[in-house]
C-alpha cells in the first residue's frame, strides 16, 4: 500500500504542494489514472464495433443492383500522410513528457511544441477531408447520388467527427502545456495519444475499404 | 485544501445545493435512483398502453374517456382506430424494452449497487455517469413527444422494420414525424447506454477493493459486468443502424429501401437498398438485448436466493461461466428472428444450432437454482418469492423457446401469439420479477426503511397468478393461428376464441391494478415504513456493511478490505450464521454440520 503511494507521489512531483501533501488525493489521482486507461480501451473497442457494423452494411449493400464505382479524390492520399504524420508528432510529444519526471520544464516545452504541430496537422486533415467532399460535390456527387457516395460521405464524415473530438482535447492539452500548467492528469495525455493513434489506424482501414469496395 | 480530508480526496466533492444533490448528481446512488424512477414512469405508461390495447382488442367500439384529448385523430370520440392501436403497440414495446427492461435491472440497480458491492466509492467516471442518465432521459422525452404531435406515434412496432420505417408519410399515420422521433430517440438512447456500459466495465475492472478478487464478486455484480460487455457491443451496432435509418428518411439515401417500391400508390424515390440489412443490424442488437434484460435479473435472483437459503449455491463458478456463455452465444443467434425473411435454409440451420445450444447454459443455471433449493430451509419473504417466481417464469417462458428455435416449427408459429407469450414471459415478466425481487430486497438499503411484507406478498401472488393467466393462453392462441399485431378479431376465424381474449383482458386489468399496490407500498414505505437496520437480511456483501441509506461517499473514510467470497452462510460467525465479506474473522463451519 505504502509503496503505491510513494510511486504515485514521485509521479505527481510537479503537482502544486497542497495536492502532493495529501496521500488521499494521491490515491484518487492514481485511481483516475487506472480507470482512464481501461476507459479509453473500452471506448476504442466500441468505436471499432460501430465501424464494423458500417462495414458489414457496406458488404450487404455491395451485392445490390445499383452498386457502382466511386473515383476517390486524390487529396485523400495527402490527408492520409498528414494524419499519419500527426500520430508521429503526438507520439514525440508523449515521449518528451515521459522522458523526465512529469512536469519538468524541458519536457513540457518540447511536448507543447509537438502538440501544437499535431494540432495543426489534425486541423489540416479535417480541412483536407472537407476539400475532398467539395471536390466530389463539384462533380455533382452528393450523399444520396448513389450507394457508393452515400458510404463515402458517411464513413469519412463520422471519422472526421471523431478526429474533431480528438482535436478539442488536444486544444485543451496544448493550452495547459503552453501555460506551463501541469495540473492535467498524465493519463489524459497518454489516452489522448492512444485515441489519436487509433484514429490514424481507423483512417487507413477506411481508406483501404473505400478504395477496394467503393 | 491542505488537510487532505476525505472530502477533497473523494472523486467528487460532497454534493451541495439542490441541483447537485438531486438533479445533476455525480453520485452513483442518486443516478441509480434516477434510472429507477425513469423506469417506473415508463413501466406504468407502458402498462396503461397495454390496457388500452387489450380493451380495444375485445371491445373495439369502446369509448375510452380522455383518450380523445390525447389524439383526436387516433381516437375520435374516444374510440381507438386500428392505426392508433398500432401506435400504442409500438410505444408499449419501445418503452418496455428500452426504458424499462434495459434501465431497471441493469442501469438502475447496477449503478446503485455495483460500486458498493466491490467496495468502490463511486463509478469510474462520475461525470459520464451523470451524462448517461441525462442522455437516456432526453431519449425518453424525444420518444414521448411522439404522443403530442399531430402525426402521432409511429405504427411500425418496436422492431421498426424497413422499408416501411424508412419511407416517411406514405407508410401510414405516425410514420412521418413520429417515426423520425423514434429513430432519434433510439439513437440517443444508444449513446447513453454506451456511456453507461463503459463506466460499468472500467469500474469493475479497476475499482475493486483490496481482496475483492473477481471470483469474490457477488453474482449480481458479475451479471452487471457481463451485461455491460454485451451492451457495449449491442448498442455500438444499433447506433449505426439508426444513423442509416435517419439518413434514408431525411437525406434521400437508399440503405434500406429497394428500387421500384410503390407504397400508398406512390413510387418511392429510392433504389437498390436492402430491407434485410435493417433486420440483420437490428437483431444483432435485438437478440443480445434479450440477455441485457434477463442477465441482471439472473444475477439479482442468485444473490437473493443465496441469502434466503442461508447456504451457497451448488456452484457459483458454474453460474458465472453459464452467464458468460449465454452472453457469448447471444451474438450468434440473431438470425433466428429472420427464419421467414427468405434466408438460405442452411443459414437458418446455422442460426438454429447455437440457439438450441444457448439452452444448455440456461438449463445449467436453472438446475443449479433448483438443486440448491432442494432441501434448503428457504426464508419466505417478498424478495425470495419474486426470486422463486423468476425461476418459474424463466422456465415456463423458456421452454417455448425450444419450439421457436427450430426453423420448421417457427414457420408456423412466427408472428403469432405463441411468440408474444414466449417473450413476454421469458424476457419481460421474468426480468421484471428480478426487478421486483431486487426492489423488496434492497429498498431498506436505498431508503433506510422497510417495505410492507403483507402488501408485498399480496402483490406477488396477484402478479404471479395473473401473469400465467395472461400469457399461457397466448401460447394456445398462437397455436390456433392467432396472428400478432392485429387490432381486433371480431369477424374472422378467431371470433370463437374471443372469450379467451376477453378473459386475458380482464386478468390484465386486475394484474395491472395490483401493480399500483406495489407503487403504493414503494411510496408509503419511503416515508412511513419501519426504519431499517443496516443489515436487515443478515447478508454478507459489502452494501450491508454501511449505514442504510449509505452516506454520499459510501464507506466514509474506510477502505474496506475483503477476506471472503460472498457465500459464507451456514457458518459460525460472530454475528450469527454468516460471515461478512469484509470481516477478518476465520470461517468456522456451523456446529452440527
pLDDT of residue B341: 87
Q: Which of A33-37, B30-34, B88-92 has the lowest mean pLDDT?
A: A33-37
On the CB side of B503, how many CA atoms lie within 13 Å of its CA?
14
Model confidence at B187, in pLDDT bands (50, 70, 90)?
A: very high
pLDDT of residue B160: 94
Handedness of CA B130, B17, B113, B386 (dihedral sign): negative
pLDDT digits (tens, 9 = 90+) for B97-106: 999 999 999 9
What is the phi/psi pair of residue A204, to 5°?
-60, -45
In the predicted model, is pLDDT for residue B269 greater than 70?
yes
Mean pLDDT score of chain A, rounded to an integer?
85
Does A42 contact B at CB distance below 8 Å?
Answer: yes
In the predicted model, is pLDDT for residue A18 greater than 50?
no
What distance in Å separates residue B239's CA from the closest CA in chain A? Answer: 7
pLDDT of residue A26: 74
Model confidence at A178, in pLDDT bands (50, 70, 90)?
A: confident
Does A39 contact B at CB distance below 8 Å?
Answer: yes
What distance in Å separates residue B191's CA from the closest CA in chain A? Answer: 11
What distance in Å separates residue A82's CA from the closest CA in chain B? Answer: 27
Here the ipTM equals: 0.90
Coil, strand or helix at B263: strand
What distance in Å separates residue A50's CA from the closest CA in chain B? Answer: 5
In the predicted model, is pLDDT for residue A10 greater than 60?
no
Strand partners, A135: none
Indicate yes or no: CB of A53 within 8 angstroms of CB of B240.
Answer: yes
Chain A positions touching B207 (Cβ under 8 A) are 31, 35
pLDDT of residue B7: 38
DSSP string, B162-204: TTGGGS-GGG-TTTTHHHHHHHHHHHHHHHHHHHHHHHHHHHH
Chain B positions touching A16 (Cβ under 8 A) are none
pLDDT of residue A16: 44
Model confidence at B239, in pLDDT bands (50, 70, 90)?
A: very high
In the predicted model, is pLDDT for residue B3 greater than 50?
no
Model confidence at A12, in pLDDT bands (50, 70, 90)?
A: very low
Domain with CATH 1.20.210.10 in chain B: 24-257+269-273, 297-314+330-526
Best of A39, A41, A67, A148 to substitute, by most chain B Cβ atoms within 10 angstroms, is A39
Bin B556: left if φ > 0, else alpha if -120 < ψ < 50, else beta. left
Q: Select the more confidently predicted residue: A207 or B14.
A: A207
Task: Give the 3-state secondary structure of chain A.
Answer: CHHHHHHHHHHCCCCCHHHHHCHHHHHHHHHHHHHHHHHHHHHHHHHHHHHHHHHHHHHHHHCCCCCCCCCCCCHHHHHHHHHHHHHHHHHHHHHHHHHCCCCCHHHHHHHHHHHHHHHHHHHHHHHHHHHHHHHHHHCCCCCCCCHHHHHHHHHHHHHHHHHHHHHHHHHHHHHHHHCCCCCCCHHHHHHHHHHHHHHHHHHHHHHHHHHHHC
Model confidence at B247, in pLDDT bands (50, 70, 90)?
A: very high
Does B195 contact A at CB distance below 8 Å?
Answer: no
How big is the A-B interface in CB pairs under 8 Å? 123
CATH number of the domain located at residue range(s) B24-257+269-273 in this protein: 1.20.210.10
Other Cβ atoms closer than 10 A to B403: 16
| pTM for the structure as a whole | 0.93
Does B251 contact A at CB distance below 8 Å?
Answer: yes
User: B331 with B284: CB under 8 angstroms?
Assistant: yes
Pairing mode, strands B266-267 and B588-589:
unpaired
How confident is the model over B117-125, as a mean pLDDT? 92
Share of chain B above pLDDT 90, in %: 82
pLDDT digits (tens, 9 = 90+) for B517-546: 999 999 999 999 999 999 999 999 999 999
3-42 in chain B: CB under 8 A from chain A: 3-6, 8-11
User: A174 with A112: CB under 8 angstroms?
Assistant: yes
Indicate yes or no: CB of B277 within 8 angstroms of CB of A66.
Answer: no
Tell me the CA distances in angstroms from B418 to A176, B379, B432, one per residue in order. 62, 35, 20
Model confidence at B282, in pLDDT bands (50, 70, 90)?
A: very high
CA nearest to B231 within chain A:
A46
Indicate yes or no: CB of A53 within 8 angstroms of CB of B203.
Answer: no
Chain A positions touching B254 (Cβ under 8 A) are 66, 144, 147, 150
Does A144 contact B at CB distance below 8 Å?
Answer: yes
In the predicted model, is pLDDT for residue B591 greater than 60?
no
Does A154 contact B at CB distance below 8 Å?
Answer: yes
Mean pLDDT score of chain B, rounded to an integer?
92
On the CB side of A156, how many CA atoms lie within 13 Å of its CA?
28
On the CB side of A13, how many CA atoms lie within 13 Å of its CA?
9
174-193 in chain A: CB under 8 A from chain B: none
How confident is the model over B452-457, as a mean pLDDT? 96
DSSP H stretches of helix in B310-381: 316-329, 345-357, 359-373
How confident is the model over B310-320, as a mean pLDDT? 93
pLDDT of residue B491: 77
Please tell us whether the domain made up of B297-314+330-526 is placed in CATH 1.20.210.10.
yes
In the predicted model, is pLDDT for residue A14 greater than 70?
no
Does B129 contact A at CB distance below 8 Å?
Answer: no
Chain A positions touching B1 (Cβ under 8 A) are 18
Indicate yes or no: CB of B9 within 8 angstroms of CB of A24.
Answer: yes
Amino acid at each position: 500500500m505504502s509503496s503505491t503511494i510513494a510511486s504515485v507521489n514521485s509521479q505527481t512531483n510537479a503537482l502544486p504542494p497542497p495536492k502532493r501533501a495529501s496521500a488521499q488525493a494521491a490515491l484518487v489521482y492514481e485511481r483516475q489514472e487506472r480507470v482512464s486507461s481501461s476507459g479509453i480501451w473500452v471506448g476504442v473497442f466500441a468505436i471499432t464495433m460501430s465501424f464494423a457494423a458500417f462495414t458489414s452494411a457496406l458488404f450487404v449493400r455491395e451485392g445490390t443492383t445499383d452498386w457502382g464505382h466511386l473515383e476517390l479524390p486524390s487529396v485523400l492520399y495527402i490527408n492520409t500522410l498528414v494524419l499519419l504524420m500527426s500520430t508521429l508528432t503526438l507520439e514525440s510529444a508523449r515521449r518528451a513528457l515521459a522522458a523526465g519526471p512529469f512536469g519538468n520544464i524541458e519536457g513540457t516545452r518540447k511536448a507543447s511544441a509537438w502538440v501544437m504541430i499535431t494540432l495543426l496537422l489534425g486541423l489540416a486533415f479535417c480541412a483536407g477531408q472537407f476539400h475532398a467532399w467539395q471536390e466530389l460535390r463539384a462533380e455533382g456527387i452528393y450523399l444520396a447520388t448513389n450507394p457508393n457516395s452515400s458510404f463515402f460521405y458517411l464513413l469519412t464524415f463520422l471519422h472526421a467527427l471523431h478526429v474533431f473530438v480528438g482535436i478539442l482535447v488536444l486544444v485543451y492539452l496544448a493550452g495547459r502545456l503552453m501555460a506551463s500548467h501541469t495540473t492535467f492528469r498524465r493519463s489524459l495525455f497518454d489516452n489522448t495519444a492512444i485515441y489519436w493513434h487509433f484514429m490514424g489506424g481507423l483512417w487507413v482501414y477506411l481508406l483501404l475499404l473505400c478504395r477496394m469496395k467503393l | 485544501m491542505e488537510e487532505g480530508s476525505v472530502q477533497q480526496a473523494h472523486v467528487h466533492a460532497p454534493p451541495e445545493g439542490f441541483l447537485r444533490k438531486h438533479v445533476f448528481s455525480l453520485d452513483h446512488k442518486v443516478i441509480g435512483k434516477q434510472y429507477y424512477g425513469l423506469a417506473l414512469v415508463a413501466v406504468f405508461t407502458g402498462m396503461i398502453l397495454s390496457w388500452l390495447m387489450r380493451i380495444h382488442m375485445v371491445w373495439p367500439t369502446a369509448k375510452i374517456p380522455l383518450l380523445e384529448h390525447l389524439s383526436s385523430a387516433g381516437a375520435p370520440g374516444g374510440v381507438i382506430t386500428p392505426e392508433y392501436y398500432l401506435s400504442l403497440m409500438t410505444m408499449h414495446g419501445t418503452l418496455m424494452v428500452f426504458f424499462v427492461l434495459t434501465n431497471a435491472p441493469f442501469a438502475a440497480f447496477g449503478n446503485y449497487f455495483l460500486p458498493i458491492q466491490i467496495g468502490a466509492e463511486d463509478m469510474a467516471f462520475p461525470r459520464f455517469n451523470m451524462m448517461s442518465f441525462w442522455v437516456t432521459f432526453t431519449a425518453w422525452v424525444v420518444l414521448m413527444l411522439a404522443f403530442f404531435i399531430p402525426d402521432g406515434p409511429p405504427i411500425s412496432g418496436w422492431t421498426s422494420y424497413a422499408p416501411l420505417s424508412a419511407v416517411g408519410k406514405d407508410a401510414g399515420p405516425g410514420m412521418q414525424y413520429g417515426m423520425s422521433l423514434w429513430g432519434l430517440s433510439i439513437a440517443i438512447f444508444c449513446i447513453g447506454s454506451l456511456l453507461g456500459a463503459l463506466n460499468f466495465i472500467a469500474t469493475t475492472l479497476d475499482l475493486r477493493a483490496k481482496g475483492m478478487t473477481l471470483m469474490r464478486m457477488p453474482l449480481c455484480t458479475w451479471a452487471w459486468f457481463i451485461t455491460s460487455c454485451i451492451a457495449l457491443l449491442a448498442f455500438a451496432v444499433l447506433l449505426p443502424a439508426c444513423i442509416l435509418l435517419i439518413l434514408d428518411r431525411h437525406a434521400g439515401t437508399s440503405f434500406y429501401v429497394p428500387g421500384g417500391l410503390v407504397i400508398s400508390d406512390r413510387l418511392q424515390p429510392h433504389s437498390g437498398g436492402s430491407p434485410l440489412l435493417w433486420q440483420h443490424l437490428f437483431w444483432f442488437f435485438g437478440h443480445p438485448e434479450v440477455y441485457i434484460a434477463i442477465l441482471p435479473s439472473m444475477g439479482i435472483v442468485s444473490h437473493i436466493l443465496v441469502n434466503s437459503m442461508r447456504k451457497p449455491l451448488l456452484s457459483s463458478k458454474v453460474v458465472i461461466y453459464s452467464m458468460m456463455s449465454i452472453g457469448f452465444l447471444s451474438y450468434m443467434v440473431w438470425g433466428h428472428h429472420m427464419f421467414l425473411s427468405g434466408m438460405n435454409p442452411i443459414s437458418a440451420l446455422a442460426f438454429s444450432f447455437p440457439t438450441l445450444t444457448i439452452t444448455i447454459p440456461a438449463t445449467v443455471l436453472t438446475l443449479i437454482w433448483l438443486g440448491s433449493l432442494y432441501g434448503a430451509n428457504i426464508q419466505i419473504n417478498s424478495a425470495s418469492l419474486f426470486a422463486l417466481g423468476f425461476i418459474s417464469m424463466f422456465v415456463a417462458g423458456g421452454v417455448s423457446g425450444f419450439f421457436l428455435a427450430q426453423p420448421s416449427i417457427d414457420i408456423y408459429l412466427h408472428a403469432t401469439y405463441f411468440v408474444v407469450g414466449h417473450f413476454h414471459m421469458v424476457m419481460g415478466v421474468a426480468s421484471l420479477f428480478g426487478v421486483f425481487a431486487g426492489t423488496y430486497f434492497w429498498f431498506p438499503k436505498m431508503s433506510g426503511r422497510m417495505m410492507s411484507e403483507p402488501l408485498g406478498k399480496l402483490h406477488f401472488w396477484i402478479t404471479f397468478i395473473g401473469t400465467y393467466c395472461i400469457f399461457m393462453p397466448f401460447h394456445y392462441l398462437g397455436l390456433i393461428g392467432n396472428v400478432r399485431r392485429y387490432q381486433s378479431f371480431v369477424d374472422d376465424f378467431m371470433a370463437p376464441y374471443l372469450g379467451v381474449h376477453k378473459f386475458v383482458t380482464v386478468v390484465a386489468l386486475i394484474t395491472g391494478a395490483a401493480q399500483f399496490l406495489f407503487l403504493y407500498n414503494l411510496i408509503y414505505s419511503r416515508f412511513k415504513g419501519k426504519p431499517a437496520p443496516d443489515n436487515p437480511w443478515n447478508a454478507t456483501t459489502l452494501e450491508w456493511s454501511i449505514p442504510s441509506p449509505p452516506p454520499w461517499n459510501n464507506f466514509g473514510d474506510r477502505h474496506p478490505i475483503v477476506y471472503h467470497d460472498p457465500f459464507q452462510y451456514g457458518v459460525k460467525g460472530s454475528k450469527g450464521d454468516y460471515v461478512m465479506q469484509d470481516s477478518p474473522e476465520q470461517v468456522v463451519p456451523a456446529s452440527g454440520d
